[in-house]
Chains A and B, each alone.
Chain A
Amino acid sequence: MNSEEQSPPNPEDEGSHAKLVPLRVRANGDRVPLRLRINGDLVDASVPGNQTLLEFLRYDVGLTGTKQGCDKGDCGVCTVLLDGTPVLSCLTPAADLDGASVETIESLARGSTLHPLQDAFIERGAAQCGFCTPGMLMSAKALLDRSERPTRDDICAALAGNLCRCTGYTKILEAVEDARDVLIAERKR
């Protein structure tokens, strides 16, 4: 992906997430064994120390629903959920994810039924080229999982790390609001 070799993570930078294993300095070529859950499935793998979660998902696991837009953490296209929290998979070393649980766009639908977010994105025309859509949906899911009644401002703040170049954001906002309302109605039932 990026032609530059990535430098090892700095042990001083404590990841905000509790389940992350302590960061270690390792040689980039060393392979690290890990066992993690991806979309609920237990996966055993071994990855080089310099491999990102994005590369691991796309190249090793074959889940190409997660896209790469910049490979340096600027665009949000590669957003996945790590133990429920949205992260940029292009900046997340795969080798640190032993014991973690990763959710990608491929797991958003409820079995064969679309998630209300997916349904609303289709209905509102919130996906034009669709390239930002998987990351956008995962950020939105994390918001709707943690917040019952997010306001328009809450939604804008939660999705500010996800660029869209097609829509001017209007239809995405409408879609997330629609999905929020559907989920509120579901909870009442």
Chain B
Amino acid sequence: MKATNPPERTDELHIIGRRVRKTGAADQVTGRAQYTDDLRFPGMLHAKIVRSPHPHARIKAIRAERALALEGVHAVVTGKDMPVLYGIIPWTQDEYPLALEKALYIGDGVAAVAATSEHIAAKAAKLIEIDWEVLPYALEPEDALKPEAILLHSNKANNITKHVHLEFGDVDAALAESDVVAGGEYSFHGTTHGALEPHCAIGLWEPAGVLTVISSTQVPHYLHRELSRVLAVPYDRVRVIQPPVGGAFGGKSEPFDLEFCVAKLSMMTGRPVKILYTREEVFYAHRGRHPMRFNYRVGAMRDGRLTGCDARVLVDGGAYASFGLVTTYYAGQLVTAPLRLSAYRFDSTRVYTNKPACGPKRGHGSVQPRFAFEVTLDKIARELDIDPIELRRRNLLVAGDRTINGLLLRSNGFGVCLDRVEAASGWKDKYKRLPYGHGIGVAGSFYISGTNYAIYPNEMPQSAVQLKVDRSGRVAVFCGLSEIGQGANSMLASITAEELGLEMEAIRVVSGDTDLTPIDLGAYSSRITMMAGNACLMAAREIAKTIKTAIARRWECALDAVVLARGFASERGAKEPRSVPMAEAICWAETDSGTLGSVGHYNTPKDGHGTYRGATIGASPTYSFTAHVAEVRVDSKTGVTTVDRIWIAHDCGKALNPTLVEGQMEGSAYMGFAEAIFEEHDFYGSGLHKGPSLLDYRMPTFLDCPDLVSLVVEAGDPEGPYGAKEVGEGPLHPSIPAIANAIYDAVGVRVDSLPFSPSAVLRLLQQKAQQKAQREAEPLAVASGGRPC
């Protein structure tokens, strides 16, 4: 889309909202994009981490002499070399870079060895001798909670990481007055991110005292802070570089053992040191979806109006805290929209177990309760004989409303999302009308667009952007954000190009380097478009004003008569409008003002939440909304569920680039579908992972994936750039309950536990058949018993 003439219309958006090509895509399709493992440095050593073979064991002694004696081995590092606790949340730091006294799960890092090749490092790792005192262990939260259970962390009584109890309104009264109360026990298994790039890091120590760590991280800023603190290198002498990342999904959103190890080993040897996780190690690093068990009760009146909701949540945290404090809150805080509740209570407990630590996976903390809540709504709809889409319509919150737990919804396109999936899926002709074995289901959700409060308390901006403009006509955008495949760099380029009237090709983005770029907190909680986007908008509008001023001075016209679009500055409203190529206009501005540059920043509003303890967790500048309809076929002989199609309607406020927005919607829906039907991050009773490989951990292929239909909804948001909100995580949520509800529509069984595997569905079908046979044998029992819903 190269313009050679000034645009005919100057009042419309020329880049924003259009399907422009993603910045950096040409590098990706030609093999030129350099990921962390693609980088090599002269004299670089390779290191391997020695991992615990026990789920819980005390380290009595580590002897590295035999490893160090091996030709090619340069150094060994153990927990004693880095005896400082770290953790992403400042209040719950409970991890050492390498286990210091105890290993807490099979795969916990204990020592690392650096050698001239990966093969020698692997051989040396086997020569490191560790004396273990094997300890009792607990793999399930129920066992870890028992009074006699051994503590994983001595300062955490009963192995409880965090307990949250919050109540809004009188839930017991609301449920007692309800015409119907539905719910039950739900179980969400663990799943992991499965990014195709294994974690990789390179440590580069310079004798002058500067430490550089290149890492496949999605949080360079937090890694920068933790490296400085743990390794006692001054904050101003640490640099973190984040090259292109090969997928993350939350799995690279906190520091990991490899980053500390490459840094420390480089400091010890004076040579560059690289660690590349094996695929097996990626499964041990984990930080994936927390397994959760729920007891849900939701009440409704006969007309479909929801009353109260009572939720108990047991969260399986794995061995360390990770983001768990937030997870424990999110598991309750983020089901209070898009529907209105008159009373709500949740009791959420996160428990340590001797398994790889859980953390944030796409839709952090709220995908699991969303499953329980939306399936419960479906049960209510059946009980009241109200169409489930209509049931949701009767309980809509609208823009400007606050949820019962105080979250302010600045914009809200959920009603439109329901309309779109209903129409596109042919819902009215299918719901309850498809033949046996064939079903359709609906679910909805909302999600945060970033968090109002940073992970560590501070009142500085959450994101910042710097622009450099010069006489070449090229603009460089500097921002600390993390491009992890979501198109964040392209988002910055689009906003800059739009505001300065330039083509995308004129914009160069530099991101993810703590030496070169102003701070952005990272790619997590779906925050980047909202925060870095607004920061970029501020910087771009400032420099645009400088350029327009130079033009207006020459044309002797009003500032707001100058419009920048498609490579030209043009005059609006004049009889004979003038225009000038942007490169020339920039020269005028450089002549008038000297070197051209600007900065912009974004900080969050602080008014969108309640005042109770914990009210700030879940508070976001704004929220996205999603509705899905899933259509499935269930083979009642085999229990195999085939998802034919998912219609995804997502309110992203404004699609800055519809192609990239749809990509996030489809990728999210796919990932939810995968968790529902295929994937399971599970362990043997010994604590050993059942299948830490991409063959055993069953990620869907081309042949498994349903048709995914994206329906973009734009309920412009007052806080977002051009009205935009998040799209990276929200559209995952409804996939799972929509499929569960469709399975009920197909064969009449409630899959309240994930995954909906053939064996699980078959078992439910058999139970249902047995119950039916019993009822037919004992007709009197029907009269006294309720009908299952």
When distances are taken between beta carbons in the complex, the residues of chain A under 8 Å from B671 are 165, 168
**B328 CB, nearest partner CB in chain A, Å:** 27
When distances are taken between beta carbons in the complex, the residues of chain B under 8 Å from A64 are 31, 34, 37-38
When distances are taken between beta carbons in the complex, the residues of chain A under 8 Å from B663 are 125, 128, 166-167, 171
Task: Assess A122 versus B22: contact at CB under 8 Å? Given A65-B31, A166-B663.
Answer: yes
Flag if A131 contacts B279 (CB, 8 Å): no
Complex Cα–Cα for A171 and B693 (A): 26
When distances are taken between beta carbons in the complex, the residues of chain A under 8 Å from B29 are 105, 108, 114, 117-118, 121-122, 127, 130, 133, 137
Flag if A131 contacts B35 (CB, 8 Å): yes
A109 within 8 A of B: yes
When distances are taken between beta carbons in the complex, the residues of chain B under 8 Å from A70 are 198, 279, 693-694
A148 within 8 A of B: no
Task: Pick the most buried of B30, B659, B707: most chain A CB atoms within 10 A of its CB.
Answer: B30
B360 within 8 A of A: no
A145 within 8 A of B: no
A10 within 8 A of B: no
B59 within 8 A of A: no
Flag if B667 contacts A74 (CB, 8 Å): no
Interface flags, A161-189, vs B, CB<8A=1, else 0: 11111111111110000000000000000
Interchain CB contact (< 8 A) of B279 among A65, A72, A104, A121: A72
Flag if B693 contacts A105 (CB, 8 Å): no
Complex Cα–Cα for A137 and B25 (A): 13
Flag if B125 contacts A3 (CB, 8 Å): yes
Task: Assess A129 versus B484: contact at CB under 8 Å? Given A3-B48, A163-B694, A169-B670.
Answer: yes
Flag if A127 contacts B702 (CB, 8 Å): no
**B40 CB, nearest partner CB in chain A, Å:** 8
Residue ID in chain B nearest A119 by CB atoms: B29
Please report whether the interface of chain B is mostly helix, strand, loop or mixed according to DSSP. Answer: loop
Task: Pick the most buried of B195, B693, B701, B708: most chain A CB atoms within 10 A of its CB.
Answer: B701
Flag if B701 contacts A168 (CB, 8 Å): no
When distances are taken between beta carbons in the complex, the residues of chain A under 8 Å from B278 are 1-3, 71
Flag if A168 contacts B118 (CB, 8 Å): no
Interface flags, B470-486, vs A, CB<8A=1, else 0: 00000000000000111
B249 within 8 A of A: yes
A142 within 8 A of B: no
Complex Cα–Cα for A118 and B25 (A): 9
Task: Assess A166 versus B21: contact at CB under 8 Å? Given A69-B198, A114-B26, A129-B196.
Answer: no
Task: Assess A169 versus B702: contact at CB under 8 Å? Given A125-B660, A127-B28.
Answer: yes
**B258 CB, nearest partner CB in chain A, Å:** 14
Flag if A163 contacts B667 (CB, 8 Å): no
When distances are taken between beta carbons in the complex, the residues of chain A under 8 Å from B22 are 122, 125, 127
Task: Assess A131 versus B247: contact at CB under 8 Å? Given A68-B37, A170-B666.
Answer: yes
Flag if B30 contacts A170 (CB, 8 Å): no
Looking at A18-26, A94-102, A152-160, the stretch in contact with chain B turns out to be: A152-160
B499 within 8 A of A: no
**A23 CB, nearest partner CB in chain B, Å:** 22
Flag if B693 contacts A104 (CB, 8 Å): no
Residue ID in chain B nearest A118 by CB atoms: B29
Task: Assess A129 versus B48: contact at CB under 8 Å? Given A70-B279, A108-B30, A134-B31.
Answer: no
B83 within 8 A of A: no
Task: Assess A105 versus B31: contact at CB under 8 Å? Given A69-B196, A131-B196, A166-B485.
Answer: yes
Flag if A128 contacts B486 (CB, 8 Å): yes
Task: Assess A114 versus B30: contact at CB under 8 Å? Given A72-B693, A129-B197, A166-B247.
Answer: yes
Complex Cα–Cα for A169 and B707 (A): 9
Complex Cα–Cα for A131 and B243 (A): 12
**A58 CB, nearest partner CB in chain B, Å:** 8
Flag if B247 contacts A165 (CB, 8 Å): yes
Interchain CB contact (< 8 A) of B244 among A1, A65, A130: A130
When distances are taken between beta carbons in the complex, the residues of chain B under 8 Å from A166 are 247, 485, 663, 667
Flag if A75 contacts B702 (CB, 8 Å): no
Flag if A122 contacts B26 (CB, 8 Å): yes
**A29 CB, nearest partner CB in chain B, Å:** 10
Flag if B30 contacts A118 (CB, 8 Å): yes
When distances are taken between beta carbons in the complex, the residues of chain B under 8 Å from A133 are 28-29
Flag if A165 contacts B249 (CB, 8 Å): yes
Complex Cα–Cα for A70 and B239 (A): 29
Interface flags, B640-676, vs A, CB<8A=1, else 0: 0000000000000000000110110011111100000
A30 within 8 A of B: no
Residue ID in chain A nearest B710 by CB atoms: A170
Complex Cα–Cα for A172 and B427 (A): 28
Residue ID in chain A nearest B658 by CB atoms: A125
Complex Cα–Cα for A68 and B497 (A): 35
Residue ID in chain A nearest B24 by CB atoms: A130
A77 within 8 A of B: yes
Residue ID in chain A nearest B661 by CB atoms: A125
Task: Assess A168 versus B196: contact at CB under 8 Å? Given A118-B29, A130-B244.
Answer: no
Task: Pick the most buried of B29, B669, B705: most chain A CB atoms within 10 A of its CB.
Answer: B29
B703 within 8 A of A: yes
B737 within 8 A of A: no
When distances are taken between beta carbons in the complex, the residues of chain B under 8 Å from A104 are 31
Flag if B31 contacts A106 (CB, 8 Å): yes
B318 within 8 A of A: no
When distances are taken between beta carbons in the complex, the residues of chain B under 8 Å from A58 are 38
Flag if A69 contacts B279 (CB, 8 Å): yes
Flag if A124 contacts B659 (CB, 8 Å): yes
Interchain CB contact (< 8 A) of A160 among B37, B119, B702: B702
Complex Cα–Cα for A131 and B28 (A): 8
B194 within 8 A of A: yes
B246 within 8 A of A: yes
When distances are taken between beta carbons in the complex, the residues of chain B under 8 Å from A53 are none
Flag if A157 contacts B703 (CB, 8 Å): yes
Complex Cα–Cα for A114 and B701 (A): 27
**A48 CB, nearest partner CB in chain B, Å:** 9
Listed from nearest, the 9 A-B pairs whose CB atoms lie closest are A65-B31, A129-B485, A131-B246, A168-B670, A130-B28, A3-B122, A105-B31, A64-B38, A74-B694
22 contacts between A and B (CB under 8 A): A67-B35, A68-B198, A75-B196, A105-B29, A108-B31, A117-B29, A122-B22, A125-B660, A128-B485, A129-B197, A131-B197, A131-B247, A137-B29, A164-B196, A165-B249, A165-B671, A165-B699, A166-B485, A168-B667, A168-B670, A169-B670, A169-B705
Known: A65-B32, A67-B197, A168-B670. 9 other contacts (CB 8 A): A69-B246, A69-B279, A114-B26, A128-B485, A130-B25, A166-B663, A167-B663, A168-B705, A170-B708
Q: B-contacting residues of A (Cβ < 8 Å)? A: 1-3, 5, 58, 63-72, 74-75, 77, 104-106, 108-109, 114, 117-118, 121-125, 127-134, 137, 155-157, 159-173
